[in-house]
Amino acid sequence: MGDWQLLHSEIENGVGTLFLDNGERFNTLHSECIHELCDALTLLEADSDVGCIIITGEPGESFAVGANIAEMHDFQPLDGWNFSRLGQRLFDQIEASSKPIIGALNGITMGGGCDLALACDIRLASDRLKVAHPGAKLGIITGFCGTQKLPRTVGFNKAKEIFMTSRTYTADEALQMKLVEQVYPADQFMQRVRDYAERIADQPPMALHLAKKLLNAAENICLVNGQVMELGAFASLFPRSGNMERIEEFFVEHSD
């Protein structure tokens, strides 16, 4: 795949994995890194061998820790606006992707890194996860949709606690507040994440794509319109080569 400085990729068994790796202790999401992520996702999107995508910071200490403070320190409002726009463009791309994207949170996940995790369709965490949104401590708020995605994921009172206290939460706490879907032991983490992703990638891409579209739409539109969309999407999958066989197989497997 592409030639990147701040990440590398691998494709195996239908799963494309992007490893954030900027050569420093923590993976900061500065503008260059966001550009590279956009490019890499574009390539994986076009690759028909890839049915599911993982973004992770394995084997490093962090998943991602948000913007580079040194880069931001001297920002003017217009720079802040542009930077936020760049990040939101990446997150729009993740949302618009036809493939399920998993955030594999291997360790420290803070600020913009937490927002990146929230932009993913599914979050799987290592028991080493430490997650926080410490913007208030720094005199800023996040600009990568965190103030909007977090309340939609964990409820708005919990989201306020997270933003107002700047506190760091453990993997178990993240699981309890439904910020992550699963927690795995650190020593088996990547293997479990790969297994999970391969199970997803093994399903027909069209059904996955439509399910993702509809679930994302559910965040934004009223029930009546959502129902109409679901109806159209459901109907469009019939008849499709392969899916009737899969339905029959499913019932045979589950008949006892």
Partner 1 sequence: MKTLSVEKKESIAVIQLQRPSCLNAVNTQMLMELQQQFEELQSDKTVKGVLLTGAEGNFAAGVDLQEIRHFTPLEAIDFAEKGQQLCSLIENFPRPVLTAVNGYALGAGLEIALSSDYILADETAQFGFRELCYGVLPAFGGTQRLPRLVGKSRAKEILFTGQMVSAEEALRIGLVNQLFPQKSLLDDVLQQLQRICSSGLLSLQMAKEVIDTGYEINLRAACKMERDAFAVCFSTEDQKEGMGAFMEKRKPQFTGR
The residues binding partner 1 (CB under 8 A) are 69-70, 72-73, 75-81, 84-85, 88, 91, 135-143, 145-152, 155-161, 163-166, 219-221
Nearer to partner 1, 51 or 135 (CB): 135
Q: Least distance to partner 1 from the beta carbon of 44, Å?
A: 23
91 versus 184: smaller Cβ distance to partner 1? 91
Strands (E), 163-248: 169-170, 182-184
* Alpha-carbon span 52 to 128, nearest angstrom: 24
Contact 15, 205 (CB under 8 A): no
Cα dihedral 53, 1, 191, 203 sign: positive
Nearer to partner 1, 103 or 143 (CB): 143
Min separation Cβ 227 and partner 1, Å? 17
Q: How far is the CB of 93 from partner 1 (least distance, A)?
A: 13
Of 44 and 120, CB closest to partner 1:
120
Alpha helices in 13-133 (DSSP H): 31-46, 69-72, 77-96, 112-119
What is the nearest approach in angstroms of partner 1 to the Cβ of residue 221?
8
Q: Shortest approach of partner 1 to residue 152 CB, angstroms?
A: 7
Sequence-ordered list of residues with C-beta below 8 angstroms from that of 160, at least 6 positions apart, any chain: 151
Task: For residue 41, give both structure tokens.
Answer: 């996702």
Q: What angle do CA 204, 208, 214 make, to 5 degrees?
A: 150
Nearest residue (CB) to partner 1, 161 versus 198:
161
